[in-house]
Amino acid sequence: MEIVLKSVYHRGKKCIAIRFDYEVTLKNYVNAFSGVYWSKTLGCFYILHSQKSLYSILKYLRAKKYRVDATAFGEKKTVTVTKPKRPTYFLPELTTEKEIAFKKYIQYLKGKRYSKSTIVVYGGFVSEFLRFTNTKLISALTEDDVRLYVEWAVRSKKYSISTHRQLVSGLKHFAIFHPECAIDEEKLVRPNKSKLLPTVLSQEEAIDLLRVTKNLKHRTVLALLYSAGLRIGELINLKLNCFDLDRRQLFIRSGKGRKDRVVLLAESFLPLFKNYFMTYQPKVYFVENPSGGQYSSGSVRKFLKKSCEMARIKKYVTPHTLRHSYATHLLENGTDLRHIQELLGHSKPETTMIYTHVAKKDLLAIKSPLDSALVAIAKQDNAHQKLFLSDNSQGI
């Protein structure tokens, strides 16, 4: 099997693209490499570029006797390789002018103190837009170019409404940052948000999920996600010094929007956590991979999916579903909406209000007209009940 390593820019960062003809054994082997990601845009796996990562991936691939072409990095060519198939949406590399502008745009976002994830997302869309417009000068770009790019991206990549909104936001910032272009940012309109209700597990389903998860580390992770309402990114970045077991508190530092907050640890979680800590003895982070670094969100999603299958849960469940379930169950148990907003770290109460639409506490007090009718009928004397209750059935 032949593998080609190429230098690419992806989401504003220099990366190493790993290209090869599809073969399931090789795919699984590459996917198991620490730090590897799949890019739908590039149509291949990739890792962040550094001399250490280049050396590691070469050593990893050659350990299985795979032939690797890394001549793009000055490595000796090991085999003549056929040119890999490009995805149907292959885009050209950035021109010199656009690469300079793109790097300055990333610095602009950093200067605005946007989060790392926001910079990666916005940078990825702007890079793709600049590549989509090919050799057209930045000063000549207009809203029509944006429209054509958005139509292409949404159609070919099947972007969701939320991704579509992020795409437009990234381009709006680019138009503001680079006023030399002819794009009027006020004419770039985001699609309306989808008003979808979140998927929520019942309390019984949440307990079933934990019961079927036999792996101690996995069960502890799922228990914390549900019992504290954490985002997956908050859990991955959670350090051991954030736990205050005496006060049953957990400090979430630099959560979404660079906000710190405090959440309560469930009493039932403490013995599980102590058992986990004594067994795995993590050093820095709450949950760590076998080599000691941060755990990956992909790993959490994998074992969550497996646990859902074992618990026979048919709903589409993600780590964020456990956060939705936490908030909904708090509301159903009588917790004030303002307190839930603080626990979740929401900036606006409107964000928390969505859980009032899925909580069933007040809805359970509402009786269906079918139930009311049947109760009324049951109170009647059975001996005098008619076959048809409605007089209209008698032809009157």
Q: Which of 13, 67, 256, 306 is catalytic?
A: 256
Are 285 and 294 in contact, with CB atoms under 8 Å apart? yes
d(CA 213, CA 300): 12
Is 324 labeled as catalytic in the residue annotation? no
Looking at the DSSP bridge assignments, the partners of residue 4 are 19, 69
- Which amino acid is it at 58? L
Is 110 labeled as catalytic in the residue annotation? no
Is 66 labeled as catalytic in the residue annotation? no
Whose CA is closest to 332, among 365, 359, 364, 366? 359
Q: Which tokens hold the place of 342?
A: 């603080």
d(CA 260, CA 137): 43
- DSSP for 312-380 reads T--S---HHHHHHHHHHHHHHTT--HHHHHHHHT-SSHHHHHGGGGT--TTGGGSPPHHHHHHHHHHHS
Is 62 labeled as catalytic in the residue annotation? no
d(CA 191, CA 168): 9
Q: Which of 19, 49, 323, 329 is catalytic?
A: 323
Q: Which of 49, 131, 231, 324 is catalytic?
A: 231
Is 320 labeled as catalytic in the residue annotation? yes
CA 348, distance to chain mean position in Å, is 21
Is 280 labeled as catalytic in the residue annotation? no
Query: Which residues are the active-site residues?
Result: 231, 256, 320, 323, 346, 355
